[in-house]
Amino acid sequence: MSTIHSAAQPTTPIGKTADYLDQRTKVGVLTKQLVRKVFPDHWSFMLGEIALWSFVVLILSGFFLTMFFEPSMALTHYHGEGPASMQGQLMSVAFASTVDMSFEVRGGLLMRQIHHWSALVFMAGIVVHMMRVFFTGAFRKPRELNYLVGVTMMILGLGAGFTGYSLPDDVLSGNGLRITDGVVKSIPIIGSYMSYFIFGGEFPGEHIIPRLFTLHILVIPALLLALIGLHLFLMVLNKHTQYPGGGRTDRNVVGYPAVPAFATKMGGNFFIVFGVLALMGGTMAINNVWNYGPFDPSPVSAGAQPDWYMLFLEGSLRLMPGQGTEWVIGGYTLSLNVLIPAVVVPGLLFTFLFVYPFLEAKVTGDHREHHVLDRPRNVPVRTGLGVAFLAAFVILALAGSNDLIATHFALSINTITWVFRVLIFVGPVFAFWITKRICLGLQRKDRELVLHGHETGRIVRFANGEYIEVHRPLDEHDRWLRVNYEAHKPLEIAPAMDARGVRRKGYMVDRQWQRVSRFFFEDRVEPVTPAELAAAHAHGGHDELEAERGTPELVSGSGNVEREH
Amino acid sequence: MSENVNPNPSQDVTASRHGAHDTITHPERFADPGVPEHTTRLADRDPQAAKRAERAIVLLFTLSILGTIGTLVAYFAFRPDGTTEGVRLSNLLLGVGLAVSLLGIGIAAVHWAKTLMSSHEHVEERHESRSSDEVRTVVAQGFADGLADSGLARRGVLKGAVVSALALFPLTIAVPLVSSVGGEWNVGKFRHTLWKNGTRLAYDPSGRLIKAADLTAGSVAHVIPDVSEEMRESHEWITEKSKAVVLLVRLNPQDLKADQSPEGETWSYDGIVAYSKICTHVGCPVALYEQQTHHLLCPCHQSTFDVADGAKVVFGPANRPLPQLPITVDDEGYLVAQADFAEPIGPSYWERLK
Amino acid sequence: MKALAARRHHRAAPVVLLLLALLVTGGVYAVLAPSPATADTASTADIETGKKLFQANCATCHGPNAEGTSQAPSLVGVGAAAVDFQVSTGRMPMQMNGPQAQQKPRQMDEEQTAALAAYVASLGPGPAIPTDEQVDPALGDSSNGALLFRTNCAMCHNAVGAGGALSEGKWAPALWDVSERNIYQAMVTGPQSMPVFNDANITPEEKRDIIAFLVEQREGSAGGMALGALGPVSEGLWAWVVGIGLIIGAAVWIGAKSS
């Protein structure tokens, strides 16, 4: 395309169109960058695509649904093709249109179910993508900003899910809104007014469904689209990270050009994701709102839970003991039994996600750019913290399902609650400790492998009667994978007194940071250095390669084989 | 960009084995062995295999076409007959057809890319993310010039005026929005419900009135205030019902340890007690009444209240007992409220006790 | 007519009239009233058999005359419905102590159950076993049933009767396989943790509506596999296991090098 001016006039229709566009936009320059842009290939790099493509499916199916959904809280008596149990019931138009689009609009039920399954998979895709990014350290410079964009999108995703879940105006989601109202009211000073702000009066009023509708189909998707654009733009700008391996450095990117293989795989993945979601929508029922019935403030059904991504909040509310946690101060009520689980706990979890990259940059004192990913084992404390975070999330989600655990495993709900009350403190700590141990163990194993090679299971007897097992050394790529990392050391700080014996300002702060840094890097396993490897070889005798080739059975005890020590 | 470039040709330190290993000095780190050698695929080596792959891909695309046709056939041929069975069949056929149509394309495309498109690795250089010092200087100079030209730094009053104007104008939108978005902003409404002296108790949802004699011991009734049928079909009702719903329980009078009636008043009637159904935790309807233990459990967060003992909290995240509705019996034997609840029902809020 | 007119001032006339009125009322009542099948046909022999069965199987806990002990409640006045419910679902006789009596294969056949029910019904008036007509789902209005079920039952038994948890290891059972007669009996007798829903609270017709709603739910979901009808938790689990499972499986395949 860069030859359009110099070359002869294009003759094909595509060429003519390209010429037309490029003469007006210089689009050739941009496309040149993209067409041959190199993307590293790994299955875990496609986890973000899961989220992206399910979002596209959400938009496609969501568009279908908006054609038939009426976000109105006006009341009507239902008479339609829906189930017999709905006939004649008083319900909002929003609920009636949801039933109609499921039973009267052919394919409507399929689209509803695809939409809801996509929402669940969208959030799950975000979570697994975040896990990949976190555990491999992909959030390090220069990608901290893109990481923040990602975390923000995760929170927007929660908002999109919550607002959509509430739209059909059924009993289940109505009780969810009621819980939201209860949580909002617990906010000190402004709580009651916030409740009025959201509902346009007292709960539930007549405004909430149209308001949620606007948020759900306009505000949140618009923000998400903008942020997805930014996310992908920054991804292309920074070029994708790559896993460590031979030839992969912080100054290059090794992979396949966007066109054709990479783009074809990416496009194919969209159809696969959509296909799986269609299969789910066609075979597995989800959120059959006519089971729950139209919203009525009196009923509630057993198994009253939010969608899975909000379960952690539900669990946190269930675990909090109520006794002694509601304080009256000067006549004003402070509901810590609601504020702590519903505001403080998610606040802590999200804050951890938002600040972690900056925390890690601070304790490593590392301001270089990183484009080669970490193997999770090589950063034991980070990996441990990530697993601890997930453990907390999972424990809270399980606590939010405690009634179903009780019925399915014939346990007492009270006992389960108590177990989770303890586990939420002990579990993450234990998860951290055990993960860190496993990481350090794997690193030691790596060292062992690099130094002594693989056990071959071949036992050799020497002339002097000594038995040894032959070890096969790693090839250079396997070795490189295991030695190519950096074991950060705890921060070193300037002494408390400067040269003239004057107390240095900021020393105390530095010392705190040093403590944190010690927590991160006190236990570490250094990669094998060439000198160590050489020493190991010297210790083990001659090199192993010859042992493979030679006839060790015949040589003497100090022969050319690595010894089992 | 080049194919299979090894940035650092292999310099294996274990090459030291060829010399006297204790005399040479070792580098601090191992050297990068470079990108592993490109391995060819079956389809690269064997034209037959390539042909097979191509056929498989064509077959998959054909399958997708069949899926699309099948979906359309299912759409027109299987008109759901209004039964659960019929809707389920239609949904299943449409869903599976769509899935075949999509998965056919997806799997074909990926298979194509994996087997027939080039698998040669490319290496692309990265450049530092930051812009060069020259560019930075130009930009900084541009801004400095602009600032000097505008004179913002010198003209203090102008600066103040600009900042104030920009800061104030959003109020033109925010004030009308905020003042209207919360309706009448009368948060005092949280305190009152439809119950007042003499309001009869009625079954939810039928609206039939309740006589004390109708309730047998161990029975529970979900109760609403007696209002006109017309009112029960209005929006106002849903909002009022959200606060007014009550759970009516009859215990054997000897089982009733305590209720919330203050000295000199009787809020229950012959073992019949009425408590707000709205949880004092975050407002779910508390409705799981276990008649043997007299415990009332909330299905949302498992707060448990003891109905036999003033609805005190015995487990879970709620802190306060459910407010009691004082009831009695009128001349005709119907249960009626003595008054509204003595305290605001439902979850706590900041000015609840004010 | 003349004869009748002549005798209307007879001294016995009021008595005859009263007897006639009683006969008519009784007849009308017998025709119109829900006929409690077992109680009606219970013979003294049935009651005797029932008493023997009671003493052999139930008296240890409920006392020799069903007056109740510290372990089990009195059965005086619980009615035939309660006995039929507890025994025909296998809950009674109870085998072991637990948070609540469990459903298990019934240990008494229909005749024995009827005899036992007749005996307990003879101890004091209580709810009778409903007739087939009273529990016929075809006669019920499932829409009204849905409304009533939602308000009175769904908080324990789940929105479509899939069951749910109560406190301290107790649970509200799933209603998929419970017979229409047993559903009715549970409502009128309030077994174990379940409260009583007498005919003033939920009328017999309304009870039949509820049964109609529950039977309609047994057709399953219009959307496909119902996944236990347990709501968002099971849906989330399936989204992870099937959805994310399949898609990540596909991603691994996409990322793997072709051989």
pLDDT in tens, A87-146: 999 999 999 999 999 999 999 999 999 999 999 999 999 999 999 999 999 999 999 999
Identify the three-state secondary structure at position C164. Answer: strand
pLDDT of residue A547: 43
pLDDT band per the 50, 70, 90 thresholds, residue C9: low
End position of a domain, from candidates B93, B123, B153: B123
**Quick check: A362 and A513 in contact, CB under 8 A?**
yes
Q: Which CATH class is domain A37-243+259-303?
A: mainly alpha
CA–CA gap between residue A123 and residue C235 (Å, rounded): 13
Interface of A with C in 192-221 (CB under 8 A): none
Examine the pLDDT at A556 and tell me if it is beyond 60: no
CA–CA gap between residue B178 and residue A324 (Å, rounded): 36
Q: How far is A200 from chain B (nearest CA, A)?
A: 4
CB atoms within 10 A of CB A118: 30
Distances (CA, A) of A59 to A62, A218, A268, B6, C170: 5, 11, 18, 44, 44
Domain ranges of chain C: 38-123, 133-217
Among candidate residues C158, C169, C139, the one with its CA nearest the CA of residue C217: C158
Task: Confirm or reject contact between C258 and chain B (CB < 8 A).
Answer: yes
Q: Is C167 in Cβ contact with B214 (below 8 Å)?
A: no
Distances (CA, A) of B276 to A146, B188, B346: 49, 18, 8
> Is residue B322 located within the same domain as residue B211?
yes
Q: Which residue of B has its CA nearest to C199?
A: B214
Domain hosting residue B299, numbered range: 191-337
Q: Which two tokens stand for residue C114?
A: 């009827």
pLDDT of residue C97: 74
Instruction: Fill in the DSSP letter of residue A333.
Output: E
Examine the pLDDT at A541 and tell me if it is beyond 90: no
Examine the pLDDT at B99 and tell me if it is beyond 80: yes
Q: Which two tokens stand for residue B93?
A: 């056929």
Highest mean pLDDT among B21-35, B314-328, C92-106: B314-328
Using omega within 30 degrees of 0 as the cis cutoff, is the peptide bond preceding A142 cis?
yes
> Is residue B199 located within the same domain as residue B278?
yes
pLDDT of residue A161: 96
B136-185 pLDDT, tens digit per residue, is 999 999 999 999 998 888 888 999 999 999 999 999 999 999 999 998 89
CA–CA gap between residue A98 and residue A116 (Å, rounded): 13
The chain-wide mean pLDDT, for chain C, equals 85
CB atoms within 10 A of CB C166: 29
Domain ranges of chain A: 37-243+259-303, 438-554
CA–CA gap between residue A519 and residue A384 (Å, rounded): 12
**Quick check: C206 and C100 in contact, CB under 8 A?**
no
For residue A334, list its beta bridge partners: A327
> Is residue B207 located within the same domain as residue B328?
yes
Mean pLDDT, residues A495-515 taken together: 86
DSSP for C209-238, please give it.
Answer: HHHHHHHHHTT-BTTBB-GGG--HHHHHHH
A244-303 pLDDT, tens digit per residue, is 999 999 999 999 988 889 999 999 999 999 999 999 999 999 999 999 999 999 999 998
Residue A111, Cα to own-chain centre: how many angstroms?
Answer: 26
Q: Is A120 in Cβ contact with C246 (below 8 Å)?
A: no
pLDDT band per the 50, 70, 90 thresholds, residue B49: very high
CB atoms within 10 A of CB B21: 18
pLDDT band per the 50, 70, 90 thresholds, residue C36: very low
Q: Is A479 in Cβ contact with B318 (below 8 Å)?
A: no
Task: Please state the domain count of chain B.
Answer: 2
**Quick check: B304 and B297 in contact, CB under 8 A?**
yes
Identify the three-state secondary structure at position A253. Answer: strand
Distances (CA, A) of A154 to A160, A239, B81, B127: 10, 22, 41, 30
**Quick check: C173 and A407 in contact, CB under 8 A?**
no
pLDDT of residue C110: 86
Q: How far is C184 from chain A (nearest CA, A)?
A: 19
Q: Which two tokens stand for residue A103?
A: 């039973």
Q: Say what angle helices C110-123 and C79-88 make with each other, to 10 degrees.
A: 150
ipTM confidence score? 0.90
Which of A542-546, B152-156, C160-164 shows the lowest per-residue confidence on average (mean pLDDT)? A542-546
Examine the pLDDT at A7 and tell me if it is beyond 60: no
> Is residue B221 located within the same domain as residue B312?
yes
Task: Confirm or reject contact between A341 and chain B (CB < 8 A).
Answer: yes
* Residue among C155, C193, C206 whose CB faces B299 most closely: C155
Examine the pLDDT at C1 and tell me if it is beyond 90: no
Residue B276 lies in a domain: yes
Q: Which residue of C has its CA nearest to B284?
A: C155
Identify the three-state secondary structure at position A92. Answer: strand
Best residue in C247, C248, C257 for a mutation probing chain A (most A CBs within 10 Å): C247
> Is residue B224 located within the same domain as residue B86?
no
> Is residue B218 located within the same domain as residue B330?
yes
Examine the pLDDT at B115 and tell me if it is beyond 60: yes
CA–CA gap between residue A456 and residue A470 (Å, rounded): 6
Q: How far is A472 from chain B (nearest CA, A)?
A: 14
The count of residues in chain A is 565
CA–CA gap between residue C197 and residue B291 (Å, rounded): 11
Q: Say what angle helices A47-66 and A220-238 make with each other, to 10 degrees.
A: 150
Mean pLDDT, residues B122-134 taken together: 91
CATH number of domain containing B296: 2.102.10.10
Q: Is B297 in Cβ contact with C194 (below 8 Å)?
A: no
pLDDT band per the 50, 70, 90 thresholds, residue A228: very high
Interface of C with A in 55-94 (CB under 8 A): none
Q: Is A84 in Cβ contact with C243 (below 8 Å)?
A: no
End position of a domain, from candidates B96, B123, B150: B123
For residue A92, list its beta bridge partners: A75
> Is residue B117 located within the same domain as residue B197?
no
Examine the pLDDT at C5 and tell me if it is beyond 80: no
Task: Confirm or reject contact between A284 and chain C (CB < 8 A).
Answer: yes
End position of a domain, from candidates B123, B147, B181: B123
DSSP for A173-196, please give it.
Answer: HHHHHHHHHHHHHTSTTTHHHHHH
Q: Do domains C38-123 and C133-217 have the same CATH topology?
A: yes
Q: Which two tokens stand for residue C209?
A: 């509506």
Looking only at the bridges linking them, the beta strands covering A454-461 and B122-125 are unpaired
Using omega within 30 degrees of 0 as the cis cutoff, is the peptide bond preceding B205 cis?
yes
Burial of C23 (0-12, 13-18, 19+ CB in 10 A): exposed
CA–CA gap between residue A334 and residue A329 (Å, rounded): 7
The chain-wide mean pLDDT, for chain B, equals 89
pLDDT band per the 50, 70, 90 thresholds, residue A554: very low
Cα Rg of chain A, angstroms: 30
Q: What's domain C133-217's architecture?
A: Orthogonal Bundle (1.10)
Task: Confirm or reject contact between A394 and chain C (CB < 8 A).
Answer: no
Q: Which two tokens stand for residue A451?
A: 């130094």
**HEC sequence for B264-328:** CCCCCECCEEEEECECCCCCCECCEEECCCCEEECCCCCCEEECCECCEEEECCCCCCCCECCEE
Please report the number of interchain residue pairs, chain B to chain C, with beta-carbon separation below 8 angstroms. 99
Residue B164 lies in a domain: no
The count of residues in chain B is 354
**Quick check: A436 and A507 in contact, CB under 8 A?**
no
Q: Which residue of A has its CA nearest to C236?
A: A308
**Quick check: C101 and C72 in contact, CB under 8 A?**
no
Determine the topology of domain C38-123 in CATH. Cytochrome Bc1 Complex; Chain D, domain 2 (1.10.760)
Examine the pLDDT at A325 and tell me if it is beyond 80: yes
Q: Which two tokens stand for residue A513?
A: 């940071």
Q: How far is B157 from chain A (nearest CA, A)?
A: 37
The count of residues in chain C is 259
Residue with the bigger pLDDT between B189 and B13: it is B189
Examine the pLDDT at C8 and tell me if it is beyond 70: no
Q: Which residues does chain A have within 8 Å of residue B114's beta carbon, measured at their own beta carbons? A: 261, 265
CA–CA gap between residue B281 and residue B286 (Å, rounded): 10
Q: Is A142 in Cβ contact with B245 (below 8 Å)?
A: no
Using omega within 30 degrees of 0 as the cis cutoff, is the peptide bond preceding A204 cis?
yes
pLDDT band per the 50, 70, 90 thresholds, residue C2: low
Among candidate residues A133, A127, A121, the one with its CA nearest the CA of residue A44: A133
Which chains, if any, share at least 3 CB pairs under 8 A with chain C? A, B
Examine the pLDDT at A478 and tell me if it is beyond 50: yes
pLDDT of residue B29: 87
Q: Which residue of B has its CA nearest to C145?
A: B205
